[in-house]
Chains A and B, each alone.
Chain A
Amino acid sequence: MSTVVLLVITGLGLGALYFLVASGLSLIYGLMGVLNLAHGSFLTISAFLGWEVGRRVSDGTWLGLAVSALVGIAVGAIVAALTEYLLIRRLYERHIEQALVTVGLSLASVALFEGIWGTDPIYTEKPDWLGQTTVILGAKIPNDRFLLIACALLVLGGIVLFLRRTRYGLIIRAGVENRSMVTALGIDVRRSFTLVFAIGGAAAGLGGVLSSVYYGYVSAHLGSTLLIFAFIVTVIGGLGSLTGAAIASVLVAVLQQFANFYLGGTGDLVVVIALAAVLLVRPRGLLGKVA
C-alpha cells in the first residue's frame, strides 16, 4: 500500500513537471500549428539563470528558491517571446522550416550551455524541508513532490483563468478553433502568438527551476529529457487541449513510475507503447479537436 502511495505521489510530482512543459507546447501548437522543438531550451536556460541568481541571493533557502523561480519565469517568458518574434514569426505555415529552426535552436543552445556551464550536472542546494519526507498512509513521501504538484496546479488554474476571463484569453480560445476567422473580425491574432509563447515560456521556466529541485542538479540536458515526455503527453492529451495535457501528464508520469517499479525499469518503454496505443485508437488524443 505504501509503495502504491509513493508511486502515485511521485508520479504526480513528475507529471507536474511534464505539465509545465506540455501546457506551453499544447497552447502553441493549438493556436499557431507550431511544434516548438526549442521549448526544452527555454526550460534549461531558465533553470541555469534561476540557479545562478538564486544561489547568489541566498543559497539553499526558501528565499533563494523563490528568487530562482521568479528569475526562471521571467527568463522563460522573455526568451520564448523573443524566439517567436525574431524567428518563428517569419515562418508561420512553413512547417518544415519551423521544425528545422526550432531543432537547430535547441541543438545550438545545448552546445552553448555546455560551453558556459560544462557537460557535467551541477548539484544544487535546496531548502532543508524539501529534502525531508512526510509520511502519508505509511509511505515516506519526499516533500519536493508537494511543491511540484502545488506549483503545477497554480499554473493550471492561472492559465485557465486567463483563458476564461480576459480578452486575450478569448482571442486565443477562438484562434485555436479558427484563426483566420479571428483576423476576419478585425483582430491582430499575431500579437496573441507572442503572448502565448511568453506564457508557455514562463511555465517552462518555472518547470526548469522546479526540475533542478526535483533532480537535485542543473544540466544542459535538463530540457531535452523533459521535452520528449512533454511531447508524448501533449500528443496523448490532444494537441491544443490544455485540460488534455494536464490529464495526460498525470497518466503518463504515474504509468511510468509503476512500470519502473513493477516491470523492471521499463517506464519509458511503457510510455511509448501507451503513446502508440492512443495514436491507434484515438489519433487526435484524449481531448484533441478533430484534425
Chain B
Amino acid sequence: MSAPILTVRRLSGRIAGQQVVENVSFEVPATGVTALLGRNGVGKTSTIRSILGLIDRTGEVTLDGHRIDRLPTHRIVQQGVGYVPEDREVFGSLTVGENLRLAERDDRPRRDFVAQLFPDIHDRRAQRAGTLSGGQQQMVSLARALVNENRLLLVDEPTKGLAPKIVDEVAVALAEAARTVPMLLVEQNLHVIRALADRVVVLSGGRVVFTGEAADLLDDEDRIQRYLGVHDADAAAEGSSR
C-alpha cells in the first residue's frame, strides 16, 4: 500500500485544561474513506479539531509526510485539507454564494463541479444561508470543502439530524467526492458507513481501540455492539427516524 496521506501519532488534545483526546494514533490511507467511529462523546470531533489545530494539541501529525502539528489552522487547511465540521457551521448572515466564495482558496475554484453536485444550492446562491433547511446547510458546508482541490477531506457527521432522503443525497455526494480524494469521515449512521467506508478507526475512552478493514467491524455484530454501543437493527431504526 502506498504511503498514508495522514498519520497521527500520540495525539492529545485539551479544551480548557481538560484532556479530550488522549494519545491517539492512526493513519489515513491515500485513497478511499476511513471512518472514525465511537460512542457519543468519545472524542471524535475533538480528534479532528486537534488535527486541524482548532484546539490545543500535542503529538505528531503529518500530511503527506510533512509535519503539520505546529502549523496554525489556516496554514494546515491551505496545504489542501478540506473540513466539513459537525453542525455545518455555515455563516448564517452570509448568502450561499458568499459562503462558497469565502471558501475558495485559490483562483481555480471548481464551481461547475459543485453546481452539478448540489443543483439546489446553486439555485439558491442569493439566499441567506441562515434561512436554509438543515439539509441545505449541510450541502453548503460540503460544497465549501469540495469547491477546492483537496489532498484530504475531514468530514464530521455530515448526516446528523437529516431526513433519510437527504442522508442519501449527502451519501451520494460524499461517494462522488471520495472517488478523487481520501477522506476521514466521522459518521454514526451504519448504512452510510457500510456504503462508504473502506477502513475504520474506533475510539473509546479517548483512545483508539480498533483499526482495520470496514468489513471486519461491520460484519461482526458483537464488535459493533461493543465498540459503538448499537445493534445494527437499532441503528437502522434510528437512521430512519432521524
Please list the residues of chain A having a beta carbon within 8 angstroms of any beta carbon in chain B. 167, 170-171, 173-174, 177-178, 180-189
Question: Are B103 and A185 closer than 8 Å at their CB atoms?
Answer: yes
Q: Which residue of A lies closest to B73 (CB)?
A: A183
Question: Are A170 and B74 closer than 8 Å at their CB atoms?
Answer: no
Residue numbers in A under 8 Å from B93 (CB-CB): 173, 177
Q: How far is A178 from B141 in the complex, measured between Cα atoms in Å?
A: 14
Q: How far is the CB of B78 from chain A (nearest CB, A)?
A: 5
A-B pairs with lowest CB-CB distance, top 7: A186-B77, A183-B73, A186-B78, A181-B89, A183-B74, A174-B91, A186-B105
Q: Count contacts on B: residues with CB < 8 A to the other chain.
A: 21
Question: Are A170 and B85 closer than 8 Å at their CB atoms?
Answer: no
Question: Are A170 and B102 closer than 8 Å at their CB atoms?
Answer: yes
Please list the residues of chain B having a beta carbon within 8 angstroms of any beta carbon in chain A. 52, 54, 72-74, 77-78, 83, 85, 89, 91-94, 98, 101-103, 105, 144, 148
Question: Are B54 and A187 closer than 8 Å at their CB atoms?
Answer: no
Residue numbers in A under 8 Å from B98 (CB-CB): 170, 173-174
Given contacts A177-B93, A183-B73, A187-B74, contact A170 B101 (CB under 8 A): yes
Q: Which residue of B lies closest to A182 (CB)?
A: B102
User: Is the contact region of chain A dominated by helix, strand, or loop, or is it mixed?
Assistant: helix
Residue numbers in A under 8 Å from B144 (CB-CB): 185
Q: How far is the CB of A121 from chain B (nearest CB, A)?
A: 43
Given contacts A171-B102, A173-B93, A174-B102, contact A181 B85 (CB under 8 A): yes
Q: How far is A184 from B82 in the complex, measured between Cα atoms in Å?
A: 8
Q: Which residue of B lies closest to A186 (CB)?
A: B77
Q: Which residue of B lies closest to A176 (CB)?
A: B93
Add 6 more A-B contacts to A181-B89, A185-B77, A185-B83 (CB < 8 A): A167-B101, A173-B91, A174-B91, A183-B72, A184-B83, A185-B74
Question: Are B74 and A177 closer than 8 Å at their CB atoms?
Answer: no
What are 22 A-to-B residue pairs whose CB atoms are below 8 Å? Answer: A167-B101, A171-B102, A173-B93, A173-B94, A174-B91, A174-B94, A178-B89, A178-B91, A181-B85, A182-B102, A183-B73, A184-B52, A184-B54, A184-B73, A184-B83, A185-B77, A185-B102, A185-B103, A185-B144, A186-B78, A186-B148, A188-B74
